Amino acid sequence: MMITKQAVLLSALVVALGACSSSKGDEENQAADRPNGTTAEVTPSREAIKSAEGRVYNVERVSSIKPENLPMNSDFKMADKNLAEYAQTLCMLDVGSKGTPVDRCDVYAQSEKDGTLIGYLAVVQDKPGARLESALQLNEKKVGSGSTGCGISGDLYTSDATRVADASKDFESQIAYSAWEKEPGNWLVAPAGPNDQVDDDPNSQIGVWYVKRSGDKLHVNQERWNYCYGPKSDVYVDDVFYRVVTLTRA
C-alpha cells in the first residue's frame, strides 16, 4: 500500500526534469497500434454528471478500448462498466472540496496483459494547472516478493519548471519524487516541485516519472528506477495508456 508523506523539496531535480530517458523510436513503435485493433472515436453525447458540490460536468466517451477489455482494478469492479461514474471517483468529484474546482479530467486506461502498469490514470486540470492521479495494479507475472503495490500522483511540470496549463492539448511533463522504503515493498513517496529542496534522509532515493500526451495516448515511463517494482528489479516501466472518457465542467 502506498503511503504519502508530507511533500519534500527537490531542487536538485530541476536539471533531471529536462532530460527524458525514453527512446523516441521505442515510444513510436509502442504507441503505433491501438489495443484490440480499435481506433479512437469520440462518441457524441449529452450525458452529464454532477460533482459533490453540484457542479455539472459534460461527459465525452472515447471508444479506444472495448468495454469488455477494460482493466478490472480492485477499486473498479466493472459491475456496470460505467466509466463516467468511475471517472467521477478517480477525478475526485464525488467528495466535497472547498478548493479550486476541477475544470477538466481525462481518464486513460492501460489494459494490455503484458504491460508493467495496468489500470487507470487521470489527468486532472484546475486553475493552477494539471496533475496526475492513478488507480494501478502491477503485472503479477513481473512482481517480485518485495512489491506490494504502486501509485503515481503529483503535479505535472514541463521542462521549464512550469505546470502543464492545458491538458486538452499534447504536452510533455515530469513528476519528480522522493521515496523511502519504510519496510520491504512498502514505500513512502512524496512528489516534489522543481523549486523544492532535496530530502536529506539517507534512506531516501529520488526519481522522475515522464508523462507525455500525444492525441489520445498518454505515455508513462521512468527515469533511473521505479518504486513500484523496487529499485533492484529489472522491470522498466514504459506503458501507453489510452483516453477512454473526459469530464469537462459545463
Residue 61, strand partner residues: 43, 245
- Note the pLDDT tens digit of each residue in 124-182: 999 999 999 999 989 888 886 556 678 999 999 998 999 999 999 999 999 999 888 88
Higher pLDDT residue, 250 or 33?
250
Rounded to 10 degrees, the C-alpha dihedral 211/217/221/227 comes to 80
Q: 178: exposed, middle or buried (C-beta count within 10 Å: 0-12, 13-18, 19+)?
A: buried
- pLDDT for residue 16 is more than 90: no
pLDDT category at 24 given cuts 50, 70, 90 is: very low
Q: What is the pLDDT of residue 127?
A: 93
Pick from 104, 108, 81: nearest CA to 93:
104
- Note the pLDDT tens digit of each residue in 58-112: 999 997 788 788 887 665 554 466 788 889 889 989 876 667 899 999 999 998 8
pLDDT category at 43 given cuts 50, 70, 90 is: low
Per the structure, how many domains does the chain have? Answer: 1
Residue 149 sits in which domain range? Answer: 3-249
In the chain, what is the greatest distance between 2 CA atoms, to the nearest angstrom?
Answer: 54
